[in-house]
Amino acid sequence: MAKYQADVQALLHAIGGKENIQAVSHCMTRMRFVLVDPAKADTAAIESIPAVKGTFTQAGQFQVIIGNDVAIFYNEFTAYAGIEGVSKDAVKAAAQTNQSLLQRIMGTLGEIFAPIIPALICGGLILGFRNVIGEINFFNNGTQSLSDISQFWAGMYSFLWLIGEAVFHMLPVGIVWSITKKMGTTQILGIILGLTLVSPQLLNGFSVATTAPADIPVWDFGFIQIQMIGYQGQVIAAMLAGFVLVYLEKFFKKICPEVVSMIVVPFCSLVPAVIVAHTIVGPIGWQIGDAIAAVVYAGLTSNVRWLFAALFGLLYAPIVMTGLHHMTNAIDSQLVNLYGGTNLWPMIALSNIAQGSAVLAMSVLQKKNERAQQVNIPACISCYLGVTEPALFGVNLKYGFPLVCGMIGSACAAVICIGSGVQAYSIGVGGLPGILSIMPQYWLNFLLAMLTAIVVPFILTILVGSRKLAAGERGLSAGAAETAAAPAATPAVEEQPQAEAPAAPVEGVTAPLSGRIIPMEEIPDQVFSQGILGEGVGIEPTSNVVVAPADAIVCSVIEDSRHAVGLTLDNGAELLIHVGIDTVSMNGDGFQLHVKEGDRVRLGDKLITFDPEKIKAAGHPTTTAFLVTDPGDTTPTFETNVDAQAGKTVVIHF
């Protein structure tokens, strides 16, 4: 008898039957479905299946979380359903058919901006720090700044602009590079095109507004003159230029014979792209970007700015759930370019805080519901640090009213923020740390808005939840809840009877990778960060070799993607080592697997070798999840915020 026969049958029925499955694949922990009609999937029924640890929808894929046994479950499911699984790329392509044109555009925009957001955040923090040491007069009765009275800080003020200029003046280089990476064309050509947009031969884009037209240099071709204007800080113009290059390269690759493509394709792609960028799409993109930024800025500075702010604060969280929020990155960047700061980003940080406060209230309401707390607490922490998806999808949307309470609190905070003129230097760290990107003269105003974003959603959620949440959901009848949950665990116990010999003692498990050990909540993946698959830690790797953290049996691997491995320790506990986030989509490129399922490994044995640069180039974090997916009869504890050596530093204690 198949191990998961009953669960497989239940899942096929709850997901809408075979006819509702357009494509299915799996990674190390999840089944990935593309459904014909997602509305036919009964999420509540699916999540009640014993083998299922949770569900969520992302980028058109309906994902069912199984855990280490997902390969077994997948094989039994496809055999029972009479369907064939497909590759991850095929699932991803099929998933796009479930998205509207606008969703696909926003998804592409998000993937373009994702790799450059860390630089924008860093740049914003640096500008804030420069302002504190060089622009604010703290000394001598308010007449001198720190850089005025200290040569060291004067040098630091000047030195830090090296980074600030690289981030904001050279932004088009990063944008065009990211477009070529996303679209699968030659990235170095994108970098070169971006460099031509910010060449020192051109009039700096930030100086155009203060330069008389007659003083703007030109290229004179006799029959036509072209202004030599740079596009420093321009977003839309750089994006249009990037897509022109991508189109030209793909076109010439199609028509050019392979034998001369190395010579013809780069030349015929780059030269026309540079010409078009400086004569057509550059000026057009400049005007479009300025127009969008001007409309937003006018709305946020007009007599009815309170209404604009209230609507933005109210609707931002639902916008995040659709993926359309990626457009704000381009608008923020354009506002910074035109006006030296952005009043849009502070409202985004406040929305994160408001949704986190709603989850905090749910944590108070459900303090006796241990299962709910496993989701509430990490979701609240990640939300306060600017990552809202775990809170939105895992808690607030699930119950409904916390989402609305958070939206109301966000709207109130946004009105205070815009009404008092708060501005940020650039896109910053989300959530509570968002104050670091706010111009210091607005800190008190932003703190008041932050307090509103914390208090209003918290009180509203407590008031509404105390009436709407049933006793069982609040954990007040915990005994009954535990009794009801007990049968779910029974099949696993029956299928895997205890061995006659006692389990071997395991006191400590070492890090499988060298690197910084971070709390589980900081892993940038909602399935891992919420503890759905089990408790554990994240690792920011400084090495590229995964080793066995203890003596164990290899219980699961995926041969084609080679990015993760499951281990069973001698004490019966099961571990998962998952290298990178969403690296299953790389189809094994950059990974080498050194073991197979069933192998016996010793502490320090090599399991996986990977290329961190390939992971980063593919747009994925290298953060590695290290989880106890099944503790067995043990109670593990974890070390965090330490620098670990692979195979030597103990990070899990039993």
pLDDT in tens, 83-133: 875 545 555 555 555 556 665 665 666 667 767 767 766 776 677 678 778
For strand 600-601 and strand 552-557, is the pairing parallel, antiparallel, or unpaired?
A: antiparallel
Mean pLDDT of the chain, nearest integer: 83
Q: Which residue's entry shows tokens 């105390």?
A: 466
Spatial distance between the Cα atoms of 179 and 198, rounded to a whole number of angstroms: 17
Portion of the chain with pLDDT greater than 90, in percent: 36
Q: Do you know the residue count of the chain?
A: 654
* Same domain (yes/no): 328, 452: yes
**pLDDT of 534 higher than 90:** no
> Is 489 inside any structural domain?
no
Tokens 């004067």 identify what position? Answer: 154
Within a domain: 636: yes
Q: Nearest-CA neighbor of 50 among 1, 81, 14?
A: 14
Tokens of 14: 């709850």
Q: Same domain, yes or no, for 317 and 448?
A: yes
pLDDT band of 436, cuts 50, 70, 90? confident
| Residues annotated catalytic, as ranges | 27
pLDDT score for 398? 73
Same domain, 225 and 320: no
Query: What's the CA gap between 572 and 477, in Å, rounded?
Result: 32
What is the mean predicted confidence (pLDDT) over 205-229? Answer: 87
Confidence band, pLDDT 50/70/90 cuts, at residue 326: low
pLDDT band at residue 404 using 50, 70 and 90 as cut-offs: very high
Per residue in 575-630, pLDDT tens? Answer: 999 999 888 878 888 999 999 988 999 999 999 999 988 888 777 889 999 999 88
Same domain, 398 and 526: no
Q: Are residues 600 and 517 in the same domain?
A: yes
| Per-residue 3-state assignment (H helix, E strand, C coil) for 145-195 | CHHHHCHHHHHHHHHHHHHHHHHHCCHHHHHHHHHHHHHCCCHHHHHHHHH
pLDDT at 329: 66
pTM given for the model: 0.52
479 found inside a domain: no
57 sits in which H/E element: strand 54-58
Together in a domain, 359 and 470: yes
Establish if 392 belongs to a structural domain. yes
Same domain, 532 and 466: no
Q: How far apart are CA 446 and CA 443, in angstroms?
A: 5
Task: Label each residue of 281-317 as H, E or C.
Answer: HHHHHHHHHHHHHHHHHHHHHCCCHHHHHHHHHHHHH
Clarify whether residues 149 and 251 are in a common domain.
Answer: yes
Regarding whether 339 and 282 lie in a shared domain, the answer is no
Q: What is the model's pLDDT at position 491?
A: 43
Domain assignment present for 546: yes
Q: Which helix (H) or strand (E) element contains residue 546? A: strand 545-547
What are residue 219's phi and psi, to 5 degrees? -90, 125
pLDDT band for position 300 (cuts 50, 70, 90): confident
d(C-alpha 499, C-alpha 489), whole Å = 18
Same domain, 279 and 318: no
Question: Do 9 and 124 fall within a single domain?
Answer: no
Cβ pair 67, 28 in contact under 8 A: no
Domain boundary among 431, 458, 474: 474
Give the pLDDT score at 608: 95
| pLDDT, mean of residues 303-317 | 88
Residue 168 near residue 162 (C-beta atoms within 8 A): no
Confidence of residue 492 (pLDDT cuts 50, 70, 90): very low
Tokens of 578: 């998952």
Domain-ending residue, one of 294, 326, 356: 294
Has residue 495 got a pLDDT over 50? no
Rounded to the nearest 10 degrees, what angle do helices 305-322 and 401-419 cross at? 140
Band of the pLDDT at 390, cuts 50, 70, 90?
low
* Helix or strand holding residue 33 (H, E): strand 30-35
- Residue 585 sits in the same domain as residue 611: yes
Strand partners, 536: 627
Q: Identify the bridge partners of residue 58 per DSSP, sorted by sequence position.
A: 61
CATH code, 75: 3.30.1360.60
CA atoms of 151 and 473, how far apart (whole Å): 61
Closest to 527 measured CA to CA, from 68, 107, 93, 99: 68
Averaged over 440-467, what is the pLDDT?
93
| Cα distances (Å, whole numbers) of residue 76 to 12, 180, 296, 570 | 11, 40, 53, 28
| Residue 197 host element (H or E) | helix 187-197
List helix spans (H) across 82-138: 88-96, 101-113, 117-134
pLDDT in tens, 65-97: 887 778 888 888 988 888 875 545 555 555 555
Report residue 56 as tokens. 């969520």
pLDDT for 478: 40
In the structure encoding, which two tokens stand for residue 527, read together?
Answer: 């399935």
Q: Report if residue 482 sits inside a domain.
A: no
Structure confidence at residue 395 (pLDDT): 79
**Number of separate domains in the chain:** 4
Residue 196 maps to a domain: yes
- pLDDT above 70 covers what percent of the chain? 85
Q: What is the mean pLDDT of residues 456-477?
A: 80
Could you count the other beta carbons within 10 Å of the beta carbon of residue 568? 18
Across 116-120, 130-134, 149-153, 344-348, least confident range? 116-120
Banded model confidence at residue 521, pLDDT cuts 50, 70, 90: confident
Q: For residue 635, what are the domain limits?
A: 508-653
pLDDT higher than 60, residue 155:
yes
Instruction: Tell which of 41, 74, 99 closes a domain.
Output: 99
For residue 501, is it within any domain? Answer: no
Q: Copy the structure tokens of residue 387.
A: 């990552």
